[in-house]
Amino acid sequence: MPGFPGAHSQAESLDELQANLQEVIAMLLEDGEPQLDTDFVGLQQISVLA
């Protein structure tokens, strides 16, 4: 995960991945505000047809 060194996750679905990443970020924030080493570039929404 850009900006959060050592933050990695994987899942079988995008919903599960989002939940996993929220959990990882919550754990990282327990230690205080992280010093991020990244620049914000933008957001992109992706739709996947099943």
At which residue do the structure tokens 């959060």 appear? 4
Confidence band (pLDDT; 50, 70, 90) for 41?
confident
Q: What is the pLDDT of residues 1-39, one digit of tens each?
A: 556 766 778 889 888 988 988 888 888 888 777 666 667
- pTM, two decimal places: 0.55
Report pLDDT for 13: 87
Report pLDDT for 6: 66
DSSP state of 5: T
b (16+ CB within 10 A) / e for 19-49: eebeebeeebeeeeeeeeeeeeeeeeeeeee
**In one letter, which amino acid is 9?**
S
Burial of 4 (0-12, 13-18, 19+ CB in 10 A): middle
